[in-house]
Protein backbone atom coordinates (compact mmCIF):
# COMPACT_ATOMS: atom_id res chain seq x y z
CA UNK A 1 0.00 0.00 0.00
CA UNK A 2 1.36 3.43 -0.87
CA UNK A 3 2.08 6.16 1.67
CA UNK A 4 -0.69 8.22 0.02
CA UNK A 5 -3.23 5.79 1.45
CA UNK A 6 -2.06 6.23 5.04
CA UNK A 7 -3.33 9.08 7.20
CA UNK A 8 -2.26 10.03 10.68
CA UNK A 9 -4.86 11.29 13.14
CA UNK A 10 -4.93 12.06 16.82
CA UNK A 11 -7.94 10.61 18.58
CA UNK A 12 -9.78 13.38 20.42
CA UNK A 13 -12.35 11.18 22.16
CA UNK A 14 -10.47 11.13 25.47
CA UNK A 15 -7.46 12.97 26.96
CA UNK A 16 -5.02 10.15 26.16
CA UNK A 17 -4.94 11.31 22.53
CA UNK A 18 -3.80 8.12 20.84
CA UNK A 19 -1.85 8.57 17.59
CA UNK A 20 -3.90 6.73 14.99
CA UNK A 21 -2.78 5.46 11.64
CA UNK A 22 -5.49 4.87 9.05
CA UNK A 23 -4.80 2.84 5.93
CA UNK A 24 -7.29 3.08 3.11
CA UNK A 25 -7.87 -0.08 1.11
CA UNK A 26 -10.09 -0.94 -1.84
CA UNK A 27 -13.67 0.33 -2.02
CA UNK A 28 -16.04 -1.90 -0.14
CA UNK A 29 -19.72 -2.61 -0.82
CA UNK A 30 -20.84 0.60 0.90
CA UNK A 31 -18.83 2.69 -1.59
CA UNK A 32 -16.21 3.74 0.94
CA UNK A 33 -12.66 2.40 1.05
CA UNK A 34 -12.06 -0.25 3.69
CA UNK A 35 -10.12 1.27 6.58
CA UNK A 36 -7.50 -0.42 8.72
CA UNK A 37 -6.94 1.53 11.90
CA UNK A 38 -4.02 1.03 14.26
CA UNK A 39 -2.71 2.87 17.30
CA UNK A 40 -6.04 3.05 19.12
CA UNK A 41 -6.08 1.77 22.67
CA UNK A 42 -9.83 1.19 22.64
CA UNK A 43 -12.63 0.66 20.10
CA UNK A 44 -13.78 4.26 20.37
CA UNK A 45 -10.64 5.33 18.53
CA UNK A 46 -11.60 3.21 15.52
CA UNK A 47 -15.11 4.66 15.51
CA UNK A 48 -13.67 8.17 15.71
CA UNK A 49 -11.19 7.55 12.87
CA UNK A 50 -13.87 6.11 10.56
CA UNK A 51 -16.15 9.07 11.18
CA UNK A 52 -13.30 11.56 10.78
CA UNK A 53 -12.35 10.06 7.40
CA UNK A 54 -15.85 9.50 6.04
CA UNK A 55 -17.98 12.23 7.61
CA UNK A 56 -16.03 14.65 9.82
CA UNK A 57 -18.08 16.64 12.32
CA UNK A 58 -17.33 19.31 14.88
CA UNK A 59 -19.07 20.94 17.82
CA UNK A 60 -19.51 24.58 16.79
CA UNK A 61 -19.09 27.47 19.21
CA UNK A 62 -20.00 31.07 18.44
CA UNK A 63 -21.90 34.03 19.88
CA UNK A 64 -25.34 35.48 19.18
CA UNK A 65 -26.45 39.08 19.30
CA UNK A 66 -28.94 40.02 21.99
CA UNK A 67 -32.27 41.74 21.44
CA UNK A 68 -31.96 45.27 22.74
CA UNK A 69 -35.17 46.57 24.32
CA UNK A 70 -36.13 50.16 23.48
CA UNK A 71 -35.23 51.35 26.99
CA UNK A 72 -32.37 48.93 27.54
CA UNK A 73 -28.67 49.46 27.35
CA UNK A 74 -27.29 50.93 24.18
CA UNK A 75 -23.80 50.60 22.83
CA UNK A 76 -22.72 53.86 24.40
CA UNK A 77 -24.25 53.54 27.84
CA UNK A 78 -24.04 49.76 28.11
CA UNK A 79 -20.38 49.52 28.73
CA UNK A 80 -20.60 52.04 31.54
CA UNK A 81 -23.70 50.43 33.08
CA UNK A 82 -22.58 46.82 32.88
CA UNK A 83 -18.86 47.32 33.27
CA UNK A 84 -16.27 47.60 30.59
CA UNK A 85 -15.88 43.86 30.08
CA UNK A 86 -19.56 42.84 30.26
CA UNK A 87 -20.55 40.58 27.37
CA UNK A 88 -22.65 42.10 24.62
CA UNK A 89 -23.31 38.74 22.98
CA UNK A 90 -24.51 35.37 24.21
CA UNK A 91 -21.95 32.56 23.87
CA UNK A 92 -23.54 29.50 22.26
CA UNK A 93 -22.57 26.01 21.13
CA UNK A 94 -24.09 23.12 19.30
CA UNK A 95 -25.25 20.19 21.41
CA UNK A 96 -24.64 17.79 18.52
CA UNK A 97 -21.58 17.94 16.27
CA UNK A 98 -22.17 19.50 12.85
CA UNK A 99 -20.85 18.05 9.57
CA UNK A 100 -17.81 20.13 8.61
CA UNK A 101 -19.21 21.06 5.20
CA UNK A 102 -22.26 22.65 6.87
CA UNK A 103 -20.44 24.67 9.52
CA UNK A 104 -20.31 27.91 7.52
CA UNK A 105 -24.07 27.80 6.82
CA UNK A 106 -24.77 27.07 10.49
CA UNK A 107 -22.52 29.94 11.60
CA UNK A 108 -24.33 32.30 9.20
CA UNK A 109 -27.65 31.42 10.85
CA UNK A 110 -26.18 31.70 14.35
CA UNK A 111 -24.86 35.17 13.56
CA UNK A 112 -28.31 36.21 12.24
CA UNK A 113 -30.02 34.99 15.42
CA UNK A 114 -30.84 37.49 18.15
CA UNK A 115 -31.49 36.23 21.67
CA UNK A 116 -33.99 37.85 24.00
CA UNK A 117 -32.72 38.23 27.54
CA UNK A 118 -32.74 36.85 30.14
CA UNK A 119 -31.21 33.60 28.97
CA UNK A 120 -30.01 30.66 31.06
CA UNK A 121 -27.17 28.25 30.32
CA UNK A 122 -28.64 25.41 28.29
CA UNK A 123 -31.55 27.41 26.86
CA UNK A 124 -32.18 26.49 23.22
CA UNK A 125 -31.29 29.30 20.84
CA UNK A 126 -31.83 27.35 17.59
CA UNK A 127 -33.83 24.11 17.65
CA UNK A 128 -33.30 21.36 15.06
CA UNK A 129 -31.34 23.58 12.69
CA UNK A 130 -32.62 23.01 9.12
CA UNK A 131 -34.11 19.69 10.20
CA UNK A 132 -30.63 18.32 10.93
CA UNK A 133 -31.29 17.47 14.56
CA UNK A 134 -28.60 19.99 15.55
CA UNK A 135 -29.60 22.21 18.47
CA UNK A 136 -27.75 25.36 19.47
CA UNK A 137 -27.85 26.33 23.17
CA UNK A 138 -26.63 29.18 25.31
CA UNK A 139 -23.42 28.38 27.16
CA UNK A 140 -23.91 30.87 29.99
CA UNK A 141 -26.64 32.85 31.63
CA UNK A 142 -27.07 36.49 30.73
CA UNK A 143 -29.70 38.96 31.94
S1 LIG B 1 -8.40 5.40 21.16
FE2 LIG B 1 -9.53 5.19 23.09
S3 LIG B 1 -7.93 5.48 24.65
FE4 LIG B 1 -7.09 6.29 22.74
S5 LIG B 1 -7.60 8.51 22.76
FE6 LIG B 1 -9.24 7.43 21.64
S7 LIG B 1 -10.80 7.04 23.20
FE8 LIG B 1 -8.89 7.49 24.28
Q: How far does the chain reach from its first CA to its final CA, in angstroms?
A: 58
pLDDT reading at 5 higher than 80: yes
Q: Alpha carbon 74 to chain centroid distance? A: 31
pTM above 0.85, yes or no: no
| Number of residues in the chain | 143
Alpha carbon nearest to ligand 1 atom 6, residue: 45
56: Cα within 13 Å, side-chain hemisphere: 9
Residues with CB under 6 A from ligand 1: 11, 13-14, 16-18, 40-42, 44-45
pLDDT of residue 85: 56
Residue-wise pLDDT for 45-93, tens only, equals: 999 999 999 999 999 999 999 987 654 444 444 444 455 555 589 999 9
Q: How many CB atoms lie within 10 A of CB 45?
A: 24
Amino acid sequence: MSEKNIRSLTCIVCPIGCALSVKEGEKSADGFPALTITGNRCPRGAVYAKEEIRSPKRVVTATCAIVEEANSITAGSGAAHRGMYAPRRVPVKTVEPCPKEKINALLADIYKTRVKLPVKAGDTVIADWQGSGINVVAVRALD
